[in-house]
Structure 1
Amino acid sequence: MQRTRWGGIADHCFRGSGFFRVEERDGVFWLVDPDGGRFLSKGVNNVRLDADHVGNTGRIPYADACRKKYGSQHVWRGAVADRLASWKFNTLGCWSDELVAYAGSLPLATAPTNELGASFKRHRRDQIFPDVFDPEFSAHIRERANDHCSTRCHEAGLLGTFIDNELYWSPDWRGGDEVLTLFLNLQSHRPGRVAATERLQERYREFSQFNAIWRTPARSWEELATMARIEAPFTRLPAGGLNDMLEAKANLADPLRAAFSADCDAFVSVVAEQYFDVCVSAIKGADPNHLVIGSRFGYQPHSRVIAAAGRYLDVISFNCYEIEASALIDAYAATGKPCLISEFSFRGDDAGLPNSRGAGPRVASQTERAKCFELYVTTALRKPSVVGYHWFEHADQPAEGRFDGEDSNYGTVTIEDNVYAELTETMTRVNAAAEQIHAAGALRD
């Protein structure tokens, strides 16, 4: 099977444009590489020498081991690039040292995240989600997109741009807040709080109608605007699967809960529309040649957020640390856009690491870990919307824990840069067959 220099299948199905793009053929989505190859993005995240510090110290055990092994970062880059290519990976995922991309005998595509919304949020200490109604939001996003994207608009090897990583869209493992309640609890002068209140006023003609549902201590809209903390009257389950059915049943049983849910869904829809419109427009304005490959959803948001994403993005990306991702793929594919799994992993308890912190299933052994990879990827590839998958991550985390305490066996290599043979042998075999699996499985289903 002849391949292009990027690793795409050179079967003359598509013409090259000099950049990566998306195409659909016979109901199956593909990426097309710059030379016209039929391409699936097979990536590894965090490919870098200085991957993980121990806690908040300056110690980086992986870097120390690799300097002894290779002698220099330059030699390490070349060795790692060729090793990834030998495992049939073709993409450097997020947080990678992009000099690795051209350090080996074959180029690797790059897929950076520009943290557009997150960088604005960091300027506003009271925000969990960026205030998209702030007059400075659009200007900030355009400036950052221009800084990060305009200089790369002619790069053939840039797969596309991730907007952000795991913004908080709805209740998940991080908390039970809704985006609406987050905005209602901004400081009283913040534009987001004003916008949230105004939209509730549009939905309820009288304050008493609103308060019959929300049950706040306030007696007027004016008093509501001065409250330090507005508590949600109900807590909703994270979206997706059985939870959606449970929520629907609860709303049928309680009209007040149904009204609260409608308030939340209507508002997050407006926020999502503004966020994706501004961010995608800014990136495309700075770099019209490359794909916008999503905001790496950390947990399935409500359907209106997914719908808004589908209206603007070229590819919808999401992180999924489950045994397999079929349900999430189906939820995002409902937009009619292709999907990329931007993070997944499995941890083996025989690696000698605590595995006490971090997402994803723990399994008994490296043999099980390899089997889990194969099941996850082959199941995903049978979905016609899937155009790639990125493994988290290149090297194991330190046993002492990184900055956030994670101490898990996520690596393709150990902290001493020793290869996990069973895992990488399975990765090589599955990666080599990925296009065939995708074409045959997707068409059959």
Structure 2
Amino acid sequence: MSDRLASWQFNTVGCWSDDLVASSGSQLLAATPTAALGASFRLHRRDQVFPDVFDPEFSAHIRASANLRCRHRRNDPGLLGTFIDNELYWSPDWRGTDELLTLFLNLPSRRPGKVAALSSLQAHYRDFAHFNAVWRTQARSWEELGRIEHVVAPFVRLRPGVLNDALETKANLADPAREAFSADCDAFVAVVADKYFELCVSAIRAADPNHLVLGSRFGYQPPAGVIAAAGRHLDVISFNCYEFDPGPAIDAYAATGKPCLISEFSFRGDDAGLPNTKGAGPRLATQLDRALAFEGYVAAALSKPNLVGYHWFEHADQPAQGRFDGEDSNFGMVTIDDRVYHELTKTMTQVNAAAERIHAAAVPALV
């Protein structure tokens, strides 16, 4: 498999790939594993959608995890870098409409994250009545708010993105209370992001100072404050993007000035005989359409100066019966019984071989 990937002009294996694939061929492929630091702490606590970065145990946990997952590869020439996590929940997206601020407000009593969320609101508002004019809770004091088991957000926001951001701005201009709520949520998630990236990057670098920290594989574009925090701490900002054109997403992350890595993208063909009912990304009619979509996507990505790489999802198709999470789609370069999709892999070979030339031609030379 390694030699075949190299023949298709791939030079890296993406997240969750088998290390033996990276090192077993005649040409070494760079590895990009994940440390899953925040995710492992969230599972450790079991009552958190997002890891409580204010919990004193968080720092100790991720340092121990980084030592376990990263230290043994600190001198590995085949390692490109390490992802911190995968698709954490930063703001409303396909998984729900909750804000990170309300999730932290609804943590169990006296949890550090709940205390931090309450403190951020108390520091901002002159008094409780001013706060409650915006949030419209049933509480009558800060103390009573801290005892409420489930704080309901007074507004539901769209997930971040160019078009949605414009709609949110319009809605906020029409309603000062909504604007204040949005500002509360954005301010808090920015603080959480800064603490998350600072602690996680520090933990990985303490265990492995010799390789890149590749980000946390954003599932969707997060709020601007999260992107800014990522830019302050990461070597590379990674994100998954299942659109036809990755340009707007790259622009959003490139505003930090940091290199950008597309850590996951794909297209599915309905002629593969698979259900294609679960899984991200566009469904297309044929394998030729998949090949053309790959070519257009990568060309658009390579036109961006900050782009340093792109990872395709995935090598082989998913089973028709569904994998562990039910995904049953034609994401592969080969079928589940290893028959090659020739239109797709031929196009991949040509585009990958020309990638550096395409990128250099599209990016203005520095003078």
| Superposition TM-score tier, normalisation by shorter sequence | over 0.9
SS of equivalent to 1:350: helix
Select the residue among 96, 103, 121 that pairs with 1:175: 96
Deviation at 1:361, TM superposition (A): 0.2
* Letter matched to residue 263 of structure 1: D
3-state SS of 2:96 partner: coil
What are the within-5 Å matches in structure 2 for residues 45-64 of structure 1? none
Q: How does 1:233-382 map to 2 (within 5 A)?
A: 233-382=154-303
* Superposition CA RMSD, Å: 0.9
1:38 is matched with none
Q: Does 1:437 align with 2:358?
A: yes
Q: What is the deviation of 1:189?
A: 2.1
Counterpart for residue 111 of structure 1: 32
Match of 1:232 among 146, 153, 174: 153
SS of 1:341's equivalent in the other structure is strand
Spell out, residue by residue over 1:411-435, the C-alpha distance to the aligned partner (whole angstroms, 9 max, x if none). 0100110000000000000000000
Give runs of aligned pairs for residues 212-231 of structure 1, distance below 5 A.
Answer: 212-231=133-152
Q: Secondary structure at the match of 1:123?
A: helix
Report the CA distance between 1:100 and its aligned residue: 1.4
Which string of whole-angstrom CA distances, capped at 9 and with x for unpartnered residues, describes residues 122-168 of structure 1? 01121000000001000111111111111111011101010000000
Counterpart among 307, 319, 340 of residue 386 in structure 1: 307
Q: TM-score, normalised by structure 2?
A: 0.99
Equivalent residue letter for 1:400: Q
Separation in 1, partners of 2:292, 2:224:
32
- Structure having the larger proportion of residues in helix: 2
Cα shift at 1:444: 7.7
Cα distance between partner residues in 1 of 2:363 and 2:39: 35
Secondary structure of the residue aligned to 2:185 is helix
Structure with higher RCO (Cα < 8 A, 6+ apart): 1
CA deviations on 1:107-136 (whole Å, 9 max, x unpaired) are 100000110000000011210000000010
Report whether the alignment pairs 1:81 with 2:38.
no
State the match for 1:22 in structure 2. none
Structure 2 residue corresponding to 1:203, chosen from 121, 124, 141: 124
Partner SS state of residue 299, structure 1: coil
Match of 1:99 among 20, 37, 56: 20
Residues in 2 aligned to 1:272 and 1:318: alpha-carbon distance in whole angstroms: 15
Q: Which residue among 32, 40, 51 is the counterpart of 1:130?
A: 51
Partner letter of residue 339 of structure 1? C
1:407-418 correspondence runs (5 A):
407-418=328-339
The match for 1:19 is: none
Secondary structure at the aligned position of 2:364 is classed as: helix
Structure 1 residue ranges, 4+ long, deviating more than 6 angstroms after superposition? none
Q: Which amino acid aligns with 2:204?
A: I
SS at match of 1:122: helix
Q: How many equivalent residue pairs?
A: 366
Alpha-carbon offset, residue 205 of structure 1: 2.1
* Per-residue deviation, residues 351-376 of structure 1 (Å, max 9, x unmatched): 00000111000000000000000000
Secondary structure of the corresponding residue to residue 314 of structure 2: coil
Paired with 1:443 and 1:173, the residues of 2 have a C-alpha distance of 37
Give the percent of matched residue pairs that are identical in Structure 1 and Structure 2. Answer: 72
Counterpart of 1:141 in structure 2 is: 62
Hey, what does 1:66 align to over in structure 2? Answer: none
Structure 1: runs of 5 or more not aligned = 1-79
TM-score, L = length of structure 1: 0.81
For 1:212, the aligned partner's letter is: A
- One-letter code aligned to 1:372: A
